[in-house]
Amino acid sequence: MHDLTEMLKGTLEGCVLEIIRSEETYGYAITRRLNELGFADVVEGTVYTILLRLEKNGLVQVTKRPSGVGPPRKFYALNDAGRDELATFWAKWEYVTSRIDKLKEGGR
Amino acid sequence: MNFWEAMTGSDLTREWKAFEARAEALPADYRAAWEEIKGHLFPYGDFTGRNLMPILDGALGLLEETASDGQSIHDVLGDDIAGFCAALAGGEGARSHRDRWREQLNRNVARKLGRLGG
């Protein structure tokens, strides 16, 4: 599905946190994962700016590791603050989706 | 950075040359994107542009990493380089010339309106 960018804003950060939660990973792998999920418009630059923000907000632990080719890669893992943030994200997500579903079903 | 560098900006010139040397090593489409990124980031610079240096370093690092992965520049940045740069600069909390101009304008307008009693 295309043109999801506007709708994804604000939720993509949570998605990236969730991907990092399951295993320590790096920008390219996160982008590929999102693309596989069907978010075809997400490019590595977008993920990069999100990772910068997560790093600045102290939600991830960053490790530089040498890669087979080219410069070393930055690997990201969640720290405790990151896990808290992710739990908050899912709570908010539950709230929003339940309200919107209700609206769609014509409830009040 | 020592005092001499702070006053003359000589460290910036040196850093700048290092950036350009790194950019030279990139594939042609990446070099074009680098030029565009610089153009979009300049408005976010402070007076000396010092605040942009870590941002430019990060952006260049991303280009180097992705170029060595063999990705196309479109896979990396998509169509919206301006948006990418805004997110980069915003992510670093960089305050730009434009923000200050806007504030100044708002202040002046508010003052004028105040004088008119409006």
B12 Cβ under 8 Å from any chain A Cβ = no
pLDDT at B118 over 60: no
In percent, the amount of chain B with pLDDT more than 70 equals: 89
For A26-49, letters b (16+ CB in 10 Å) and e give bbbbbbebbeeeebebbbbbbbbb
Q: For A77-87, what is the mean pLDDT?
A: 96
Q: Side-chain half-sphere of B113: how many Cα atoms within 13 Å? A: 7
Query: Does the CB of A21 have a partner CB in chain B at under 8 Å?
Result: no
For residue B92, the model assigns a pLDDT of 47
Average pLDDT over residues A40-67: 92
Most confident stretch, A15-29, B5-19, B90-104: A15-29
Check if the beta carbon of residue A64 is closer than 8 Å to that of residue A73.
Answer: yes
What's the average model confidence in pLDDT over B98-102? 71
Please answer yes or no on whether A71 and B64 come within 8 Å at the CB atom. yes
**B62·A28 Cβ contact <8 A:** no
DSSP codes, chain A:
----HHHHTTTHHHHHHHHHHHS-EEHHHHHHHHHHTT-TT--HHHHHHHHHHHHHTT-EEEEEE--SSSSPEEEEEE-HHHHHHHHHHHHHHHHHHHHHHHHHTT--
Report yes or no: A26 and A71 within 8 Å, Cβ to Cβ.
no
Contact flag B77-A49 (C-beta cutoff 8 Å):
no
The answer to whether the beta carbons of residues B83 and A84 sit under 8 Å apart is no
A17-48 pLDDT, tens digit each:
999 999 999 999 999 999 999 998 899 999 99
Which amino acid is present at B81? I
Give pLDDT, residue A50: 94
Three-state secondary-structure class, residue B21: helix
- Residue B17 tokens read as 């040359």
- Min mean pLDDT across A88-92, B55-59, B103-107 is at B103-107
Kindly determine whether residue A43 and residue B66, on different chains, have CB atoms separated by under 8 Å.
no
- Whole-angstrom CA distances from B95 to A39, B7, B38, B89, B111 are 32, 21, 16, 8, 23
pTM: 0.79
Banded model confidence at residue A1, pLDDT cuts 50, 70, 90: low
pLDDT over 70 (residue A107) = no
d(CA B63, CA A65): 17
- Please tell me whether residue B83 adopts helix, strand or coil conformation: helix
pLDDT score at A108: 59
> pLDDT tier at B111 (50, 70, 90 boundaries)?
confident
